Chains A and B, each alone.
Chain A
Amino acid sequence: MKARIIIVGGDKNVYFLTRQFIQRGDHVTIINRHPIRSRELARQTKATVVLGDGADISRLEEAGARRADVLLSLTSHDQDNLVICQIAKKIFGVPRTLALVNDPDNEVVFQKLGVDVVFNKTKVIVSMIDQIAHFEDIATLMPLAQGRINVTDVVLDAASPAVGKSLQELQLTEGSLIACIIRNDEMVVPRGNTRLLVGDHLILISQPETHEKDLIILCGES
């Protein structure tokens, strides 16, 4: 389904977001208050760019807020993101508004004040760091299917309970799979009788619900 999306503010991420949305066939309008940035965005993307303050009612009108399906407010000031979403909703009836919050304490208040989706940047980054700190030899390569599948690079160290075992003996949770083993920079195709060694990189495909369990089987309790 093609959507009409308005993006207000934001830094480098706006360019990548816009590119992604346009590839999907969505129609994107950007409101940005910086003349140089706006000109760059107009040149680099197929979006319509409106120069000005996103909380200004006439700029929203100009950006087509009346017909927009979604508005994302991504400025670095929480107060601007709140007011922009509220005006978009109240005056223009935009069905879905998303605000970026920088101060994690504001998440609940924003929801109370009528913002549909609150994207808590700090919380997301902290939870990513937590995951990495928890299993430091593990890097998530990519979430697939809207985060329902994880592809992870797991490195085995001497303490890993999986070292010395064959894949058959491992008993990962159902639905998980070791797609590939990288050993001394060479790819080893995993078979049931392949024994795991210290330093092996395992490319693990798993689901979020059982992901942690698989990591414990491979790396032990941390």
Chain B
Amino acid sequence: MSHYIIIVGCGRLGSLLANSLSSAGHQLVVIDRNEAKFDKLSTEFSGFKIVGDAIEMSVLRRAHVEKADYLFAITTEDNLNLMVAQIAKIAFNVPHVIARVYDPAREAIYGEFGIETISPTKLAAQAFLDIMRKDV
């Protein structure tokens, strides 16, 4: 089944996700402030690119957030990700919203707000500890 997926932030993670989801047949919209970031998208990427700041409602409307099945907020700014995720969920009723949050303390709070979060810091720490446990 094909989903309508919006990715905010086209850095290393954003472009990786966009490329693989697009080639899997999903409909993609990628938003980034910096047009040069779109260079990381593969030539097979068939989705839309929007240059703009995703905390502006007008940019989200242009991306047709109201139709999205998924929104991933994965810029390098925790607060921006948290704000976009909440707007998508509350103002546009996007069913699945995930925000990347580097600060583990902040991540814990927003779990309680009903926003799904991924903390790379926590994940990496866990991966390190898992390897260590195997060795010891």
Contact = CB atoms under 8 A, between A and B. Distances in A.
A77 interface: yes
B17 interface: no
B21 interface: no
Main secondary structure of the interface of A (DSSP, over half): helix
Interface in A82-124: 82-83, 86-87, 90-91, 103, 105-106, 109, 112-113
A103 B57 contact: yes
A103 B90 contact: no
A153 interface: no
A183 B96 CA distance: 68
A90 B109 contact: yes
A109 B79 contact: no
A15 B56 CA distance: 29
Given A80-B79, A90-B112, A105-B58, A112 B91 contact: yes
B9 to A, nearest CB: 13
Interface residues of A, number: 19
The size bracket of the interface on B is: 20 to 34
A79 B90 contact: no
B105 A79 contact: no
Given A77-B79, A103-B56, A109 B106 contact: no
B103 to A, nearest CB: 8
A55 interface: yes
Contacts of A113: 86, 90
B104 to A, nearest CB: 10
Interface of B: 55-58, 77-80, 82-84, 86-87, 90-91, 103, 105-106, 109, 112-113
Given A79-B79, A83-B83, A109-B86, 4 more contacts: A80-B79, A83-B82, A90-B112, A106-B55
